[in-house]
Amino acid sequence: MRSMVRTAWLVTRKDLLVEWRSRVALNQVLPFAAIVMVIFAFALDRFPGVPNPEEGSTGSLLETVAPGLVWLATLFSLLLLVQRTFAVEREDGALDALRAAGVDAAAVFWGKTIALALQLAVLEVLLLGTAVILYAVELRWSGAVLLVTTWLTATLGLAAVGTLYGGLAAGARGRETLLPLLLLPVVAPVLIGATRAVEAALGTGGTAIADGWPWVGVVAVFAVAFGAGGTLAFGPLIDE
Amino acid sequence: MASHPATTTTSATATGGAPPATSAGTATRATRLLGALTLVGVAWLLLFGLVLSPADVNQGESVRILYVHVPSAWLAYLAFVVTAVASAMYLFSKRHSLGWDRLAGASAEAGVLFMAITIGVGALWGRLTWGVFWEWDARLTTTAFLLVTYVGYLAVRRLGGTQHQRAKRSSILALLAVLEIPLVHWSVKLWRSLHQEATVLRPDGDVKMDGLMLFTLFVGIVAFTLMYVWLVIHRQRTLAAEDLLEDVGLDLAIDARRAERVAEVG
Amino acid sequence: MTVVELTGVVAVLGSFPALAGVDLTVDQGEIVLLRGPNGAGKTTLLRVCAGLQPIARGSGTVLGCDLATQREEVRRRVGLLGHRNGLYLDLTVAENVRFWGATIGATPEELEAAMVRMGLAGRLADLPVRRLSAGQQRRTALACLVARRARLWLLDEPHAGLDAAGRDELDGILRQAAAAGATIMVASHELERAGSLATRTVDVVAGQVSEAVA
């Protein structure tokens, strides 16, 4: 068991080190996510920055849907990050070599999941900041605990699911395009739950903070379910 | 549901799914009987659904669409359960018999069909009754997700590789779907409950089904179930024939490869 | 002691039978040279013995573990050097060796020794693998393999890309490993060099094997 944790930690460190060297997430995925946030405004809001009386709120449309947009941008970025992490493994046959060395697949799964989660977490914080700037979102202290909890559970759930399905789609050519088709339906509960929870944390549309906690429950169950599922299924899925 | 040329089952690849030996199709006496029963069931459904059962007080004649919509929804979920159970049987049984995997695949294909019918007919019904094609209620939305998930599942089945590779991959995916779909349903239900919208907008929500209508619904369910079983049996047999063809092809390929060596070594 | 025992093994890639019925027995301490034309199935044979490639027909055991049911155990005991090196191109040589060594439980001293052995210590160690030549990358992969100290070594064209000094070094390593009790299977086109190294030669042609006469 301890060696499994150690192996997972080695894999996490290795993934983060690769990212640190190549800076792909930093230089490509992050700007992509930011651009997505901007073009959401183009597509969705006729009068950005203007209060929307029909909505019955004092904020603009963008401010109202900001939590959803942040998570949407996160999901799109997740697709890119997953593709990237498995492309690194595929480049010189490293994942194959990991399998050949008899390294515990569950350890590899958790190692990659944690590394992915860490990158995703940073991305989400920055996206929230972007929302504050672009969509005039206002944060409040009272929602901080809810916000942080949502952030942690959702990120873990997304990373686990992404690594699992990424392993499936990582194989031969022609599989990469499968990833969005497989992944996006699966992450729907996280999208619904995390968005509602963040809405509660921010008080969007008058939502009370207490309303957010059931949603965190949904997301947490998701994270546990796919954490367990991934631990069991990752090995068989990447095996031949 | 095409028929395949005559094959003799020599290899033991198919259990409970092999096409009958030396036949020109996938039909047997049992399935012909089943098919006949299905036709009878459908005829009954048409009779009761279109003629004998009354129109609804509120919705008029358009309630008759329910007699297709509800049974196909039921079958969609049944197909999903069958795929999941068959996948589990493949993964966790000692023999890892491919017959289970073929059952899972056949059921998934039938399931996609019924899911599409459910959504399509439901859209029609919604349009006729309340003027909207789509309604974001929990059941309909979950069915849509089920549809997309199974389209993905079918795509993964086509990824190639050996039959056991395909089976392992798909079975795992099917079991993950079992994990995912309840979560989707739960979150969508919670989501919809946020809105205290008029309970009018709920499929078959306010339709008070009297005795005859309930009976018609029952007939519909029975007829559709028979249809499902008939479809799955035939599809599984075609899949078994395809797998057999592949195996025979492998035998031929092995022989050809061995012949290569004789040619080379001389 | 029998290390590898294959009976009637058929291995399929997609729908192509790369191995079309292989019978092979390898005892401990042997250095087996697998020779044969491209496409004969040498790589697939090595991957079967490494527990990576599943068997479609037939049966086999490697190091006492059944290839049908215990591939995981096989992998843990076997060291494979495949066509590709399995390195992380953005990481340095040292980081790669450290990662691979750590995942298999080698000590830092063993890793250092392996790197020195392969001529990778010093300036080279801190270069990203991407910037190395093919031969240097191969050496890095070899260092990882050496650190593994497996009981069965499977090498797929290990000499490819190495310069003369590297090849001599590799031969030395293999002889040393065999002397220490490891069993080695090498697929190679370097017939002279590998031939002098090997205790036994096996011809692989069209997915089948036979003992070489000469």
Q: What is the pLDDT of residue B4?
A: 37
Q: Is the pLDDT of residue B10 over 50?
A: no
In a mutational test of the C interface, the residue from A96, A173, A232 whose CB has the highest number of chain C CBs within 10 Å is A96
Please tell me which residue of chain B has the smallest CA distance to C203: B265
The answer to whether C161 contacts chain A (CB < 8 Å) is no
Q: Is the pLDDT of residue C51 over 60?
A: yes
- Count of B–C CB contacts within 8 Å? 44
First to last CA, chain A: 25
**Residues in C touching B253 (Cβ below 8 Å):** 15-17, 20
Q: Could you tell me which CATH class the domain C2-86+150-211 is placed in? A: alpha beta
Total number of domains in chain A: 1
* Residue C6: strand, helix, or coil: strand
The answer to whether C21 contacts chain B (CB < 8 Å) is yes
pLDDT tens column, B37-77: 888 888 888 888 887 777 776 777 777 888 888 899 889 99
Cβ contact, residue pair A221, B183, below 8 Å: yes
pLDDT tens column, B169-223: 999 999 999 988 888 888 888 888 776 544 434 454 545 667 788 888 888 999 9
- Count of A–B CB contacts within 8 Å? 69
Cβ contact, residue pair A92, C77, below 8 Å: no
In a mutational test of the C interface, the residue from A9, A15, A18, A21 whose CB has the highest number of chain C CBs within 10 Å is A21
- The C-alpha atoms of residue B245 and residue B259 are separated, in whole angstroms, by 21
Q: Which domain holds residue A155?
A: 2-238
pLDDT tens column, C163-179: 888 888 888 889 988 99
**Residues in A touching B90 (Cβ below 8 Å):** none
Q: Which of C75, C84, C88 sits opposite A102 (nearest CB)?
A: C75
Label residue B266 by pLDDT band (50, 70, 90).
low
Element containing residue B83 per DSSP (H, E) = helix B66-92
**Residues in A touching B155 (Cβ below 8 Å):** 178, 181
pLDDT tens column, B76-121: 999 999 999 999 999 999 888 999 999 999 999 999 999 999 999 9
Distance from CA of A87 to the nearest CA of C (A): 11
Cβ contact, residue pair A88, C50, below 8 Å: no
Give the predicted TM-score (pTM) of the model.
0.89
Q: Is B199 exposed, middle or buried (CB count within 10 Å of its CB: 0-12, 13-18, 19+)?
A: exposed
- The C-alpha atoms of residue A11 and residue A29 are separated, in whole angstroms, by 21
Does the model's ipTM exceed the 0.95 cut?
Answer: no
Per the CB < 8 A criterion, the answer to whether A165 and A226 are in contact is no
**Residues in B touching C208 (Cβ below 8 Å):** 258, 261
CA atoms within 13 A on the CB side of B21: 5
Q: Is A139 exposed, middle or buried (CB count within 10 Å of its CB: 0-12, 13-18, 19+)?
A: middle
Domain residue ranges of chain C, discontinuous segments joined by +: 2-86+150-211
* High-pLDDT (> 90) share of chain B, %: 36
Can you tell me the mean pLDDT for B155-169?
Answer: 87
Cβ contact, residue pair B254, C21, below 8 Å: yes
Buried b (16+ CB within 10 A) or exposed e, C130-157: bebeebbbbbbbbbbbbbbbbbbbbbbb
**Residues in A touching B176 (Cβ below 8 Å):** 164, 186, 226, 229, 233
Q: Which of B160, B250, B261 sits opposite C208 (nearest CB)?
A: B261
Please tell me which residue of chain A has the smallest CA distance to C78: A101
Cβ contact, residue pair A178, B161, below 8 Å: no
Can you tell me the mean pLDDT for C12-27?
Answer: 91
Chains that touch A (3 or more CB pairs under 8 A): B, C
Q: What is the pLDDT of residue B17?
A: 53
Per-residue pLDDT tens listing for chain A (240 residues) = 788 999 999 999 999 999 999 998 899 999 999 999 999 988 988 777 666 666 555 567 888 899 999 999 999 999 999 999 999 998 898 998 999 988 999 999 999 999 999 999 999 999 999 999 988 888 888 889 999 999 999 999 999 999 999 998 876 556 778 899 999 999 999 999 999 999 999 988 778 888 899 999 999 999 999 999 999 999 999 887
pLDDT tens column, B237-260: 999 999 999 889 999 999 999 888
Which residues, in sequence order, are CB contacts of C148 under 8 Å at separation 6+?
Answer: A101, C79, C104, C106
Q: Which of B250, B260, B261 sits opposite C12 (nearest CB)?
A: B250
User: And the tokens for C99?
Assistant: 């990662």
